[in-house]
Amino acid sequence: MKSATSAALLAFATGAFAKQITVYNGCPFTIWPGLFTGSGAAPSQATGWEAAAYTAVTFAVPDNWTAGRIWGRRDCDFSSNPGPNSCLSGGCNGGLLCTNPVSTEGVPPASLAEFTLDANGEDYYDVSLVDGANLPIEITSSTGCHVASCPVDLGPNCPAALQGPYDTTGFPLGCKSACYANLDGNQADSANCCSGSHNTAATCPPSGVAYYSYFKDNCPDAYAYAYDESSGTALWTCATGGDYTVTFCPPS
């Protein structure tokens, strides 16, 4: 402890909003991050913002931020008819701000950084590709916990049945999950979606999920389908007290 001032700041910082998350856009293009809170208190940050290439924002989050999600929107234009289709991938209800974050957390495909902090005495976090992928993303902690990541752009090599949406030049901005692509034609009772008669880990093994290995082989430290905990490399925990950084397009 260097001074009385920093001691006082530290004491202040141990309140309910002691924790910080930094969101860094490492992509060589502008993205529009979105932020969603599943329940309880929300972070100090807006629910959507513009992030120019190579810029970062840092904001406070509740120590027990619950079912929080951060994702990136691509190729957005909010000037007319703001809504989920204002962005070519990852759009939400609203415009720059996601105004209905409870019912939409980004139109799939969207790579998600997910947090449930201080639950059972630990922080839980993961990178989810359960809804598909639209940007490389990783979560690092200030305390050196395991890096949750999908550092690969899964769009260009995405299986044809899952690829898209595309930008105006025909470049793929995402790779859908087999569930979202509705490959088996019935999202209500689907081995790809882990729904209906497949709604448990036992009845929804990864072997029944089409293209599971495309996602998991490229991004082994991310959730590649709804019950991917069984891989042992999907859901991560960290002692409470650290800060986190979400990086889009991390250096590979």
Ligand X SMILES: *[C@@H]1O[C@H](CO)[C@@H](O)[C@H](O)[C@H]1NC(C)=O
Residues in 44-83 that interact with ligand X by CB under 6 A? 62, 64, 66
DSSP designation for 99: S
Chosen residue from 9, 16, 52, 102 binding ligand X by CB under 6 A: 16
| Contact residues for 117 (Cβ-Cβ < 8 A; gap 6+) | 19, 61, 62, 63, 64, 65, 66, 68, 123, 124, 125, 240
Q: Which is nearer to ligand X, 36 or 225 (CB)?
A: 36
39 touching ligand X, by CB under 6 A? yes
Q: Which is nearer to ligand X, 41 or 147 (CB)?
A: 41
15 touching ligand X, by CB under 6 A? no
How far, in Å, CA of 37 to CA of 17, rounded? 15
**What are the C-alpha distances in Å from 112 to residues 13, 137, 220?**
28, 8, 15
Size of the site for ligand X (CB under 6 A): 6
**Rounded least distance, CB 61 to ligand X, Å:** 11
Region for 124 from its dihedrals, namely left if φ exceeds 0, alpha if ψ lies in -120 to 50, beta otherwise: beta
**Rounded least distance, CB 63 to ligand X, Å:** 7
**Rounded least distance, CB 38 to ligand X, Å:** 9
Note the maximum CA span of the chain: 64
**What are the C-alpha distances in Å from 45 to residues 33, 107, 171, 194?**
11, 21, 31, 33
User: Which amino acid would we find at residue 199?
Assistant: N
How would you classify the pairing of strands 148-150 and 137-141?
A: antiparallel
Q: Which is nearer to ligand X, 70 or 194 (CB)?
A: 70
Residue nearest ligand X, CB atom distance: 40
Q: Which is nearer to ligand X, 40 or 156 (CB)?
A: 40
**One character per residue 149-168, x = contact with ligand X (rule: CB under 6 A):** --------------------
**What's the length of the chain?**
252
Measuring CA to CA, which residue among 4, 146, 150 is closest to residue 71?
Answer: 150
Chosen residue from 8, 15, 40, 58 binding ligand X by CB under 6 A: 40
**Rounded least distance, CB 238 to ligand X, Å:** 17
Q: Which is nearer to ligand X, 50 or 63 (CB)?
A: 63
- With tokens 């004491």, the residue in question is 11
**Rounded least distance, CB 118 to ligand X, Å:** 8
240 touching ligand X, by CB under 6 A? no
User: In the complex, which residues of this chain contact ligand X (CB under 6 A)?
Assistant: 16, 39-40, 62, 64, 66
